[in-house]
């Protein structure tokens, strides 16, 4: 068998006073007293954020500056605490990306409700919403903590677009037109 | 009538209280720092003081050491809102912090802290100094009992009960453990009684801790229990009883309990130093090199304080090393181990002294 039964020796007289053990403990703590400290002095020193961290949900744009969200409202639907409120809007006919058809008119995330579950990021068919590294946010009122679309884009920044879905669609449409 | 002696005594007393309270405040800081260091943290290191904190290197260093933290803590205690729960018994609720605080401040009157030209530096050099100390310091437990009882809620109540039981159990062992020290300090026929000064003077060759290690150990353990320090912090036991007897207190009332607790530790360390660590005597076997006059007084006081701080450090070191005993273990240790041990120690010492006197002297 792979285990070994240790015989439990009865404590001898010195051990039963506990004093030797206390002295050993004292030695350990004294040694620790002079060790390097492990505290991360937070506001001055920031922790390294690991890959896949779920911070504040933000909206991102693609490299051409197009807002990726198509206001399908899947994230609004999936969000467990109902932190997301979306008002879908139309993209005007004469815009560059008119063929995308829809974009959010209003997109609010209530950061006081959000539980950083990441469902929105997972469900989004357009890869438009990401939970990023920011983890500390504060405000003076509840209203202030409902982040509007502009702010969400500002925090989100630009993400590379691997699929170029709408670009390809546009291209295909143009080709189809060219071939009549 | 001449008011001058009264005035001088008053000034001395105020000075002594101020110094001890400041030491107690910095003992709190030391506790937090040592706790931090032992656990791999820094402890308080942010509180900066205007002007002093801005001195290039020194200010930064003091801030990192947390030197200004007690000032901030004290101010916080004073200016915080002081909520009074609706279910408390108001009279005793207000009385308890005072009852805890006053004995802690009174005991220091008889504690000698230095020597000048053969005279003790002490507020009152009583013949029954030790007796006074024991009597007054154990009054402090009334503060705990009253606080626990008047709060009318379960955790403080349990804390109060535990506090009183523990105090009674360990008082006995403590009293018995210091008697051998006095037996040895008082040569037959001398009239020094229980004066603390004479105990120190009798240790100029040999510290009592070397001669009486068992008494010193029992006294130390009992002292831990009497000052409600871990591993015997039954009345407070923050992991079991929220904050024990002072759960319902806030602001400066809690501050009074807090200061009283740390004053007890400082004074207790002082008593331990006086009784067993040779007070202001230099090293065992070496004559004290203190010159006469006030220089000697200051030097002996500093040496005494150094020893006291070492003992205070030991208190904290123990606190962050040992876990808390269970309540029944505390009682068992007190009644079935320490008390018989202290009794046997006393009897054996008495017999030994009697034989020694008969045959050799
Ligand atoms: S963020 Fe994604 S899931 Fe949410 S509405 Fe926009 S496209 Fe749909
Ligand atoms: S992370 Fe979760 S809670 Fe927060 S907005 Fe997205 S779905 Fe809602």
Q: Within its chain, how far is the Cα of B272 from the centroid?
A: 9
Q: Which domains does chain A have, with CATH numbers?
A: 57-160 (3.30.70.3270)
Residue A81's pLDDT is 93
Region A1-15 average pLDDT? 83
Pair B119, B216: CB distance under 8 Å: no
Q: Which residues line ligand 1 (CB under 6 A)?
A: A 69-75, 86, 123-124, 126, 128-129
pLDDT tens sequence across B93-121: 888 888 888 888 888 888 888 777 777 77
Please name the residue that has the structure tokens 């009865």.
A10
- Annotate A35-56 with b (16+ C-beta within 10 A) or e (fewer): eeeeeeeeeeeeeeeeeeeebb
Region B71-83 average pLDDT? 86
d(CA A28, CA B321) in angstroms, rounded, equals 8
pLDDT tens sequence across A61-77: 888 888 888 899 999 99
What are the C-alpha distances in Å from A85 to residues A42, A67, A108?
Answer: 33, 17, 5
Q: Which of B34, B69, B28 is nearest to B48 (CA)?
A: B69
Q: Closest chain B residue to A30 measured between Cα atoms?
A: B38
Q: Do A39 and B42 touch (CB under 8 A)?
A: yes
d(CA A59, CA A152) in angstroms, rounded, equals 5
Pair B200, B279: CB distance under 8 Å: yes
Instruction: Please tell me which of the candidates A26, A35, A36 has its beta carbon nearest to residue B321.
Output: A26
> From the CA of A140, how many Å to the nearest CA of chain B?
22
d(CA A128, CA A109) in angstroms, rounded, equals 14
Residue B288 in this model has a pLDDT that exceeds 80? no
pLDDT tens sequence across B147-168: 888 888 888 888 888 888 888 8
Residue B187's pLDDT is 64
Q: Which residues line ligand 2 (CB under 6 A)?
A: A 57, 78-81, 83-84, 109, 114-120, 131
Please name the residue that has the structure tokens 């063929």.
A99
- Chain A residues touching chain B at CB-CB below 8 Å: 22, 25-26, 28-30, 32-39, 41
Determine the residue of A61, A67, A69, A119 to mutate for testing ligand 1's pocket, defined as the one with the most ligand atoms within 8 A of the Cβ atom: A69
Q: Do B40 and A22 touch (CB under 8 A)?
A: no
- Through-space distance between the first and last CA atoms of chain B, rounded to whole angstroms: 51
B322 has a chain A CB within 8 A of its CB: yes
Q: Closest chain B residue to A19 measured between Cα atoms?
A: B217
Q: Output the CA A51–ligand 2 centroid distance in Å.
A: 18
Pair B12, B123: CB distance under 8 Å: yes
Write A21-29 long-range contacts (CB < 8 A, 24+).
A22/B318, A22/B321, A22/B322, A25/B321, A25/B322, A26/B317, A26/B318, A26/B321, A28/B321, A29/B38, A29/B317, A29/B320, A29/B321
pLDDT tens sequence across B255-286: 888 888 888 888 888 888 888 887 777 777 77
pLDDT tens sequence across A23-80: 888 998 889 888 888 888 888 888 888 888 998 999 998 888 888 888 999 999 999 9
Instruction: Please tell me which of the candidates A22, A29, A41 has its beta carbon nearest to residue B38.
Output: A29
Residue A140's pLDDT is 92
B72 has a chain A CB within 8 A of its CB: no
Q: Do B42 and A22 touch (CB under 8 A)?
A: no
How is residue B181 written in tokens? 């020290």
How is residue A98 written in tokens? 């008119």
Pair A107, A86: CB distance under 8 Å: yes
Task: Enumerate helices (H) and strands (E) in chain A, giving the number of each.
Answer: 6, 5
Residue A108's pLDDT is 92
Residue B294's pLDDT is 78
Residue B320: list chain A partners with CB under 8 A.
Answer: 29
Q: Which of B166, B110, B103 is nearest to B138 (CA)?
A: B103
pLDDT tens sequence across A112-165: 999 999 999 999 988 889 898 888 888 899 999 999 988 888 888 888 888 888
Residue B192's pLDDT is 65
Q: Do B320 and A35 touch (CB under 8 A)?
A: no
d(CA B278, CA B210) in angstroms, rounded, equals 10
How is residue A169 written in tokens? 């669609």
Residue nearest to atom 4 of ligand 1 (CA): A75
pLDDT tens sequence across B174-218: 888 888 888 877 766 566 667 777 777 777 777 877 778 888 888
**Coil, strand or helix: which one is B347?**
helix
Residue B293 in this model has a pLDDT that exceeds 80? no
Residue A1's pLDDT is 63
Please name the residue that has the structure tokens 């791999």.
B40
Region A172-179 average pLDDT? 85
Backbone angles phi, psi at A18, to 5 degrees: 70, -5
d(CA B182, CA B56) in angstroms, rounded, equals 53
d(CA B184, CA A24) in angstroms, rounded, equals 32
The greatest distance separating any two alpha carbons of chain B, rounded to the nearest whole angstrom, comes to: 70
d(CA B7, CA B13) in angstroms, rounded, equals 10
Residue B39: list chain A partners with CB under 8 A.
Answer: 32
Residue B67's pLDDT is 82
B320 has a chain A CB within 8 A of its CB: yes
pLDDT tens sequence across B87-97: 888 888 888 88
Rounded to two decimals, the pTM is: 0.79
Residue B189's pLDDT is 59
Residue B54's pLDDT is 76
Pair B97, B147: CB distance under 8 Å: yes
Residue A141's pLDDT is 92
pLDDT > 70 fraction of chain B, expressed in percent and rounded: 96
Q: Report yes or no for ipTM above 0.85.
A: no
Q: Output the CA A155–ligand 2 centroid distance in Å.
A: 16
Residue B142 in this model has a pLDDT that exceeds 80? yes
How is residue A127 written in tokens? 């890869």
Residue to mutate among B31, B35, B36, B39, with most A CBs inside 10 A, is B39
Pair B121, B112: CB distance under 8 Å: yes
* pLDDT tier for residue B303 given thresholds of 50, 70 and 90: confident
HEC secondary structure over B219-230: HHHHHHHHCCCC
pLDDT tens sequence across A81-125: 999 999 998 888 887 778 888 888 999 999 999 999 999 999 998
CB pairs under 8 A between A and B: 36
Residue nearest to atom 2 of ligand 1 (CA): A124
Residue B237 CB-half CA count within 13 A: 22
Q: Which residues pair with B120 in a beta bridge?
A: B115
pLDDT higher at B187 or B352: B352
What are the C-alpha distances in Å from B318 to residues A26, B38, B50?
Answer: 7, 11, 35
Q: Which of B306, B257, B252, B262 is nearest to B26 (CA)?
A: B262
d(CA B84, CA B107) in angstroms, rounded, equals 30
CA angle centred on B321, ends B316 and B323, rounded to 5°:
110
Mean pLDDT over the full length of chain B: 82
């Amino acid at each position: 068998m792979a285990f070994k039964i240790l015989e439990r020796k009865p404590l001898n007289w010195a051990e039963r006073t506990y004093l030797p053990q206390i002295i050993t403990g004292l030695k350990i703590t004294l040694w620790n007293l002079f060790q390097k400290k492990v505290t991360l002095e937070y506001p001055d020193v920031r922790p390294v954020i690991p890959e896949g961290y779920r911070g504040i949900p933000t909206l991102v744009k693609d490299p051409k500056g197009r807002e990726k969200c198509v206001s399908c409202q899947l994230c609004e639907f999936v969000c467990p605490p109902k932190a997301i409120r979306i008002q879908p809007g139309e993209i005007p006919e004469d815009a560059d990306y008119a063929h995308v058809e829809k974009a959010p008119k209003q997109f609010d995330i209530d950061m006081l409700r959000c539980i950083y579950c990441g469902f929105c990021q997972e469900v989004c068919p357009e890869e438009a919403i990401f939970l990023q590294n920011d983890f500390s946010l504060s405000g003076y009122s509840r209203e202030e903590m409902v982040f509007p679309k502009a702010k969400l884009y500002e925090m989100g920044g630009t993400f590379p677009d691997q699929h170029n879905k709408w670009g390809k669609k546009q291209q295909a449409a143009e080709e189809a037109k060219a071939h009549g | 009538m001449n008011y001058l002696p009264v005035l001088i005594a008053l000034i001395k007393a105020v000075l002594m209280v101020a110094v001890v309270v400041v030491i107690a405040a910095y003992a709190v800081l030391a506790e937090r720092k040592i706790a931090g260091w032992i656990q791999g943290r820094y402890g308080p290191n942010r509180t900066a003081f205007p002007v002093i904190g801005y001195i290039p290197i020194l200010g930064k260093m003091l801030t990192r050491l947390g030197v200004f933290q007690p000032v901030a803590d004290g101010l916080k205690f004073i200016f915080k809102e002081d909520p009074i729960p609706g279910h408390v018994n108001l009279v005793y609720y207000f009385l308890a912090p005072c009852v805890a605080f006053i004995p802690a401040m009174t005991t220091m009157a008889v504690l000698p802290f230095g020597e000048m030209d053969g005279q003790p530096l002490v507020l009152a050099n009583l013949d029954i100094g030790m007796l006074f100390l024991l009597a007054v310091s154990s009054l402090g437990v009334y503060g705990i009992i009253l606080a626990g009882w008047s709060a009318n809620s379960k955790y403080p109540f349990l804390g109060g009960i535990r506090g009183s039981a523990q105090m009674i159990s360990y008082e006995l062992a403590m009293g018995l453990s210091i008697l051998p020290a006095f037996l040895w300090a008082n040569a037959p026929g001398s009239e020094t009684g229980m004066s603390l000064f004479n105990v120190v003077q009798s240790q100029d060759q040999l510290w009592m801790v070397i001669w009486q290690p068992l008494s010193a150990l029992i006294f130390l353990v009992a002292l831990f229990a009497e000052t409600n320090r871990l591993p015997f912090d039954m009345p407070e036991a923050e992991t079991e009883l929220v904050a024990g007897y002072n759960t319902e207190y806030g602001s400066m009332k809690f501050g009074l309990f807090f200061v009283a607790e740390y004053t007890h530790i400082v004074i207790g360390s002082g008593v331990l130093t006086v009784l067993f660590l040779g007070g202001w005597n230099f090293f065992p076997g070496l004559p004290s090199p203190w010159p006469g006059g006030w220089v000697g007084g200051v030097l002996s006081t500093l040496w005494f304080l150094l020893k006291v701080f070492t003992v205070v450090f030991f208190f904290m070191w123990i606190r962050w090393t040992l876990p808390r005993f269970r309540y029944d273990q505390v009682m068992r240790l007190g009644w079935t181990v320490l008390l018989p041990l202290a009794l046997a120690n006393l009897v054996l010492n008495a017999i030994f002294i009697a034989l020694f006197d008969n045959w050799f002297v």
